[in-house]
Structure 1
């Protein structure tokens, strides 16, 4: 069995992973600083963001208290570059056993994207820290609940379409954390705080 790196403490304790995509590096850093002030503890900067390596470096420097990862990772070369820039964990939209093994050997947690039971089990057996259930918005909390019935040993992080309106349902269905993009990056301060508090409350209630 491959070595499994634990879910980063900032994600596990807060229940929330913010996803920053598509903004220039300077705006990404400014957004990260705002989200940190609002209580966000962990975020990912996606590989398809222009200048994402500069953004990762900038966020690590400006927000030393944040856990910062790289998202939409498709290959080891991209993972290596992001790691050199300071990324602390990897998020991918798919299952790649080689990528998961590479990350685990370097102490990097991985959130591997999966939709089906077969993909989820494949990711888990490869050593993923958690399975990113994607696209959660299309599948819905009910799908997560049904998926977890035979797969309770696998921690799931629903991502895509998660918002303040449905985040509590995802936790009730068994999510260990949620990945949220527009629900935090396009929301006002009050909405972000509400999302942060809902996620943290769900984690605390779970014990």
Structure 2
């Protein structure tokens, strides 16, 4: 896979799910909720051994449905191998570390690094990346994306951090390709609104 294969990874759905620190059973349940809703991509952040077990279980369940799972919070190059061994199809970082990017590229796994400034976007693109995670999205605000598209029209953004059904549309309308949600999947009142977003 390459950076451009995020088009396939997200399956054309403008929403992805992040299951942070939820444990094996809860991660499994929420991944099923996400897939049933029409969310193709699920990310399990790797910060503890329990997270790694959760990732392996979600990967196992995803294989039954032909879905791909990512490993998030990759902050060190050595975590790339851990994520791959657990079955992750891509990795996600909260920030932009060229060493982590190069480790992912060397292992042939797509990476979605976090950016929050024009300088970071420019550096990421110089490393051959076009899909980028904007974090924290609600701190940046939807207007940030309208401005950043001027000098970087080829960049594709996944907005992460503080997004739920109440504000996701605002970011999509600003040109974001994908918005990431987490706890919203446990709120029955938000599921219908998320389904509407997925139908866009």
| Aligned match of 1:110 | 111
1:173 lines up with 2:174 in the alignment: yes
| Aligned match of 1:58 | 57
2:165 and 2:194 in contact (8 A); partners too: yes
- Residue 50 of structure 1: how far off its partner (Å): 5.0
| Aligned match of 1:94 | 95
Q: Which runs of 4+ in 1 moved over 3 A?
A: none
Could you report, residue by residue, the CA deviation over 1:121-168 in whole angstroms, capped at 9, with x for unpaired residues?
Answer: 111221335111111111211111111121111111111111212211
Gaps of at least 5 residues in structure 2 are none
User: How far apart are the structure 2 equivalents of 1:4 and 1:10?
Assistant: 10
- TM-score normalised to the size of structure 2? 0.90
1:47 lines up with 2:46 in the alignment: yes
- Residue 92 of structure 1: how far off its partner (Å): 0.4
2:133 and 2:160 in contact (8 A); partners too: yes
Could you report, residue by residue, the CA deviation over 1:6-46 in whole angstroms, capped at 9, with x for unpaired residues?
Answer: 21514151122200011121221122122222222111001
1:163 lines up with 2:180 in the alignment: no
- Residue 170 of structure 1: how far off its partner (Å): 0.9
1:67 lines up with 2:68 in the alignment: yes
How many residues align? The count is: 197
1:70 and 1:82 in contact (8 A); partners too: yes
| Aligned match of 2:152 | 151
Three-state SS of the structure 1 residue aligned to 2:141 is helix
Gaps of at least 5 residues in structure 1 are 202-207
- TM-score normalised to the size of structure 1? 0.87
| Cα 1:52/1:173, change in 2 over 3 Å | same
User: How far apart are the structure 1 equivalents of 2:3 and 2:57?
Assistant: 28
- Residue 49 of structure 1: how far off its partner (Å): 5.1
